[in-house]
Chain A
Amino acid sequence: MSAGYQHYYVPHQSHWPIVGAIALFLMGFGAAHWVNDDFIGPILLTIGFGMLLLMLFGWFGNVIEESMSGLYSEQMDHSFRQGMSWFIFSEIMFFAAFFGALFYARMISVPWLDGAGDNAMTAAVLWPNFEAIWPLIKTPAGVETQAMPWEGIPLINTLILLASSVTLQFAHMGIEQQKPAQLGFFLMLTIILGFCFLALQGYEYVHAYEELGLRLDSGVYGNTFFLLTGFHGMHVTLGAIFLTVIFLRIAVKGHFTSEKHFGFQAAAWYWHFVDVVWLNLFVFVYVL
């Protein structure tokens, strides 16, 4: 707690936060217009997204510069570590909401619609022909779909993500033991595995829509399937970009030392987090 307290770096001023605030404003405002089919929506969203990218470049650029010029004490390093940990915790809670919806639908709302508990009259009056099965391949209103099997692509994807966590660990050992070749190779491999996962996930979505009739709007099974895998996929995308940036910083700029490489570690933590989320997804969305 006390180590290095004396020189805690407080940045003077920055215009990036307000740029970021306006960017998110434009994105939110634009997205809201867009879903209401207003032509201005996509335009605002695009401008906002552009500003956000600019902000990310500028802000991270500042942080990297300050870090490289030795302004950051060990205490600052702790702040970043703790901040990143809390951020990942907040992400876990975000996924928890959707897992909660999945469990509720599966354990409570679908059985109740079929008369479980004291809901016999609900079933009799509303949809007497409804049958509670999971995956819910026929909704009470009669929308039919097919379930996504876990063998095949989901299993391969699981192996890919698990392997990528291992290769990332090798890359980490590379940075710690000052073996640049090992670091570069395994980091690159991790990124490639990440993008393979995304490509297969994209292929799976096409398969779901075109062959299984499993769509975002095909009842609560499709809803939870696409929102959980979709948000996970977005996180993999972010994580892969994060790792790519780290790779470029190492390969092009020669950043990070065997002692100081929190940027790398943050990306690694994030990657392991999306990996763990996937394992839960694989078990609860696909297998069970």
Chain B
Amino acid sequence: MSQEHSQSIESANTHHADDAHDHKPQGFSRWFYTTNHKDIGTLYLLFALLMLFTGGSMAMVIRAELFQPGLQFVDPHFFNQMTTVHGLVMVFGAIMPTFVGLANWMVPMMIGAPDMALPRMNNWSFWLLPCAFTILLSTLFMEGGAPAAGWTFYAPLSTTYSNDSTAFFVFAVHLMGISSIMGAMNIIVTIFNLRAPGMTWMKLPLFVWTWIITAFLLIAVMPVLAGVVTMVLTDKYFGTSFFNAAGGGDPVMFQHIFWFFGHPEVYIMILPAFGIISSIVPAFARKPLFGYESMVIATASIAFLSFIVWAHHMFTTGMPVAAELFFMYTTMLIAVPTGVKVFNWVATMWRGAMTFETPMMFAIAFIVLFTIGGLSGLMLAITPADFQYQDTYFVVAHFHYVLVTGALFGIIAGVYFWIPKWTGVMYSERLGQCHFWCSLISVNMLFFPMHFVGLAGMPRRIPDYALQFADMNAFISIGGFLFGLSQLLFVWVVFRCIRRKGEKATAQVWEGAEGLEWQVPSPAPYHTFQTPPEIKSGH
């Protein structure tokens, strides 16, 4: 792929005015030895796309099995492997790397930097990911299979009752963690240190702001994940009893440490999407973002609160009532800054001269559907209610609304928004709209009924279910297959752009788009801003 890609970029650039600056290496060394933020961004995005389909195909196995009650295609152990690896691949392989890829591409251009602050480390961060996922996915082909304890790998499922794949899982997570931490360090240092003169804090595009905060969260919690997987490793292989009551430990301790990482992790997967939506909505409403300062403060508040809400994932595991109340109220508090954000997006659109190109469609769908996911989160935050919802499909519906129609829709919106800048050609609007409507309808067929089966008591992570859930599950599975197929359209759209099929894009691309990234030509030259641009006043 890389050969074709680089050649087509080359041919498109031969008549380019910036040719002298656009000198770039070719072939193998370009992609493996690169220090260029755009190349590394491309690698991240393509890797994440591959992982999206890897994790997605596992979701298809899950939905095929759940199409009917009873056991059809896979045995329960393999089903557990699928739910586990699906989660791990989507979280660490698809969503997080996409955001890092988008940051790589856009942050230096948005702040007027020549590249990322530490370009070689940037390359290292990326290439650790394929290594990590090779280790993780290799377990699927080993005796005993892949990890099957859920992506949350609760002890003792991941210790006493797990198989040999645990060690592979642990070291794969270590590599992912090293990659994420280095990626985050790079991004945060770039933003702190490489802003063009005049690019003051309150002029930063919101995507950049959300990434500062995300990077902080990553550096703060990925090491905690490294710690907890290390304890899992020593509990399983070296006779420690961190999560074993017989030795004075506690399985619940695992959950505390895991979710201390896990809850900020949830915001790591949504904050950059907030940033993308905050870029897209003003562009297509042709109005400045409403309440810029409050957006920044809201993002920071969400990040702060993310550190003191973790135990809402564990209301039913046994905690003193005072702790349950504390975590219930702090969790509900998160609705306030999140509400501020949704309000601001809607207020930005209010009386705007709106057009509805594909990025805007996905952004609007994001606002509506993410809000649904947020509201079901509010329901789950209520401790006594959670006793009922816990471990049902209601939870699955909730987090897929925030992660699929939230994070993933935000990503897709961002790709449509920025791909003309990356490739120099407009995507096909017809295909884009088609992709949007197919995705919108199928994703709601897929996840909305999960609320109902969940409220009716269908437990998650089990390959079989009671007969009364059969019709709903068949419907959900059809939605799932359709959603999976719809994403093939997306791949088609993206690859048409990579192959330069489409109208040539202007530098500004979108009439209402503002910011430094829209002042450089499309496709963006290989090296942007070798000397810093001048920043005019205003956002």
Q: Chain A interface (Cβ within 8 Å of chain B)?
A: 1-2, 5-6, 8, 10-18, 20-22, 24-25, 27-29, 31-33, 35-36, 59, 75, 78-79, 82-83, 86-87, 89-91, 93-94, 96-98, 100-101, 104-105, 108-110, 112-113, 117-118, 126, 136, 139-141, 143, 216-217, 219-224, 227
CB nearest to B240 among chain A residues: A223
Most buried by B among A75, A98, A220, A222: A220
Contact across chains for A220 and B247 when beta carbons are under 8 A apart: yes
Identify whether the interface residues of A are mostly helix, strand, loop, or mixed.
Answer: helix
Contact across chains for A139 and B239 when beta carbons are under 8 A apart: no
Contact across chains for B121 and A17 when beta carbons are under 8 A apart: yes
Contact across chains for A140 and B245 when beta carbons are under 8 A apart: yes
Interface stretch (choices B227-235, B375-383, B450-458): B227-235
Contact across chains for B238 and A217 when beta carbons are under 8 A apart: yes
What is the distance, in angstroms, from B217's C-beta to the closest C-beta of chain A? Answer: 11
Contact across chains for B127 and A18 when beta carbons are under 8 A apart: yes
- Sample 9 A-B pairs with CB under 8 A, ordered by A number: A1-B197, A18-B124, A21-B131, A25-B135, A83-B117, A83-B121, A108-B250, A112-B250, A140-B247
Per-position 1/0 for B204-243, Cβ under 8 A of A = 0000000000000001111110111011011001111110
B46 at the interface (CB under 8 A from A): no
Contact across chains for A29 and B135 when beta carbons are under 8 A apart: yes
**In the complex, what residues of B have CB within 8 A of residue A16's CB?**
120, 124
Contact across chains for B119 and A11 when beta carbons are under 8 A apart: yes
Contact across chains for B223 and A17 when beta carbons are under 8 A apart: no
**In the complex, what residues of A have CB within 8 A of residue B196's CB?**
5
CB nearest to A91 among chain B residues: B223
**In the complex, what residues of A have CB within 8 A of residue B114's CB?**
8, 10
Contact across chains for A139 and B240 when beta carbons are under 8 A apart: no
CA distance A2 to B164 in the complex (A): 53
B302 at the interface (CB under 8 A from A): no
CB nearest to B531 among chain A residues: A6
On whether A83 and B185 interact (CB within 8 A), knowing A100-B260, A109-B250, A219-B248, the answer reads: yes
On whether A223 and B234 interact (CB within 8 A), knowing A87-B185, A139-B246, the answer reads: yes
The contact of B220 among A93, A112, A223, by CB within 8 Å, is: A93
Per-position 1/0 for B89-130, Cβ under 8 A of A = 000000000000000000000000111011111011001101
**In the complex, what residues of B have CB within 8 A of residue A35's CB?**
167, 233, 237
CB nearest to B248 among chain A residues: A220
The contact of A2 among B184, B197, B260, by CB within 8 Å, is: B197
Residues of chain B from 126 to 141 with CB closer than 8 A to chain A in the complex: 127-128, 130-132, 134-135, 138
Interface stretch (choices B55-63, B168-176, B412-420): B168-176
B437 at the interface (CB under 8 A from A): no
What is the distance, in angstroms, from A118's C-beta to the closest C-beta of chain B? Answer: 8
**In the complex, what residues of B have CB within 8 A of residue A79's CB?**
117-118, 189, 193-194
CB nearest to A220 among chain B residues: B248
On whether A24 and B246 interact (CB within 8 A), knowing A12-B35, A14-B123, A82-B192, the answer reads: no
**In the complex, what residues of A have CB within 8 A of residue B170's CB?**
32
B181 at the interface (CB under 8 A from A): yes
Contact across chains for A223 and B128 when beta carbons are under 8 A apart: no
B70 at the interface (CB under 8 A from A): no
**In the complex, what residues of B have CB within 8 A of residue A18's CB?**
32-33, 123-124, 127
How many interface residues does B have (CB within 8 Å)? 79
Given contacts A13-B34, A21-B124, A221-B248, 6 further A-B contacts (CB under 8 A): A5-B196, A36-B167, A87-B185, A91-B223, A100-B260, A222-B240
Contact across chains for A97 and B257 when beta carbons are under 8 A apart: yes
B402 at the interface (CB under 8 A from A): no
Give 6 nearest A-B pairs by CB, closest first: A97-B227, A217-B239, A28-B171, A109-B250, A25-B131, A17-B124
CA distance A32 to B196 in the complex (A): 45
Contact across chains for B247 and A10 when beta carbons are under 8 A apart: no
B335 at the interface (CB under 8 A from A): no
**In the complex, what residues of B have CB within 8 A of residue A118's CB?**
320
CA distance A100 to B33 in the complex (A): 40
CA distance A224 to B234 in the complex (A): 11
**In the complex, what residues of A have CB within 8 A of residue B253's CB?**
101, 104-105, 108-109
CA distance A94 to B221 in the complex (A): 8
Contact across chains for A216 and B238 when beta carbons are under 8 A apart: yes
B178 at the interface (CB under 8 A from A): yes
Most buried by B among A10, A59, A113, A217: A10
Contact across chains for B250 and A104 when beta carbons are under 8 A apart: yes
CA distance A109 to B254 in the complex (A): 11
CA distance A112 to B249 in the complex (A): 10
CA distance A5 to B530 in the complex (A): 9
B256 at the interface (CB under 8 A from A): yes
CB nearest to A27 among chain B residues: B171
**In the complex, what residues of A have CB within 8 A of residue B233's CB?**
35
Contact across chains for B193 and A32 when beta carbons are under 8 A apart: no
What is the distance, in angstroms, from B467's C-beta to the closest C-beta of chain A? Answer: 37
CB nearest to B197 among chain A residues: A2
Contact across chains for A141 and B247 when beta carbons are under 8 A apart: yes
Contact across chains for B250 and A29 when beta carbons are under 8 A apart: no
Contact across chains for A90 and B171 when beta carbons are under 8 A apart: no
**In the complex, what residues of A have CB within 8 A of residue B273's CB?**
none
Contact across chains for A10 and B193 when beta carbons are under 8 A apart: no
Contact across chains for B33 and A14 when beta carbons are under 8 A apart: yes
**In the complex, what residues of B have CB within 8 A of residue A13's CB?**
25, 29, 33-35
B532 at the interface (CB under 8 A from A): yes
CA distance A154 to B121 in the complex (A): 38
Residues of chain B from 174 to 201 with CB closer than 8 A to chain A in the complex: 174-175, 178, 181, 184-186, 188-189, 192-197
CA distance A222 to B248 in the complex (A): 10
Contact across chains for B248 and A24 when beta carbons are under 8 A apart: no
**In the complex, what residues of B have CB within 8 A of residue A108's CB?**
250, 253
CB nearest to B221 among chain A residues: A93
CA distance A86 to B240 in the complex (A): 31
Residues of chain B from 41 to 86 with CB closer than 8 A to chain A in the complex: none
**In the complex, what residues of A have CB within 8 A of residue B531's CB?**
5-6
**In the complex, what residues of B have CB within 8 A of residue A94's CB?**
223-224, 226-227
**In the complex, what residues of A have CB within 8 A of residue B221's CB?**
93
The contact of A109 among B248, B527, B532, by CB within 8 Å, is: B248
CB nearest to B233 among chain A residues: A35
CB nearest to B173 among chain A residues: A28
CB nearest to A132 among chain B residues: B248
CA distance A113 to B237 in the complex (A): 24
CA distance A31 to B260 in the complex (A): 27
**In the complex, what residues of B have CB within 8 A of residue A224's CB?**
242
The contact of B223 among A10, A11, A93, A112, by CB within 8 Å, is: A93
Contact across chains for A75 and B193 when beta carbons are under 8 A apart: yes
CB nearest to A11 among chain B residues: B35
CA distance A212 to B78 in the complex (A): 45
**In the complex, what residues of B have CB within 8 A of residue A139's CB?**
241, 246-248
Contact across chains for A22 and B241 when beta carbons are under 8 A apart: no
On whether A32 and B168 interact (CB within 8 A), knowing A12-B35, A94-B226, A96-B224, the answer reads: yes
**In the complex, what residues of B have CB within 8 A of residue A28's CB?**
131-132, 135, 171-172, 174-175
Contact across chains for A25 and B134 when beta carbons are under 8 A apart: yes
Contact across chains for A219 and B172 when beta carbons are under 8 A apart: no
The contact of B167 among A5, A25, A32, A220, by CB within 8 Å, is: A32
Contact across chains for A83 and B118 when beta carbons are under 8 A apart: yes
Contact across chains for A100 and B223 when beta carbons are under 8 A apart: no
**In the complex, what residues of A have CB within 8 A of residue B132's CB?**
25, 28
The contact of A10 among B119, B178, B246, B257, by CB within 8 Å, is: B119
**In the complex, what residues of B have CB within 8 A of residue A14's CB?**
33, 35, 120, 123
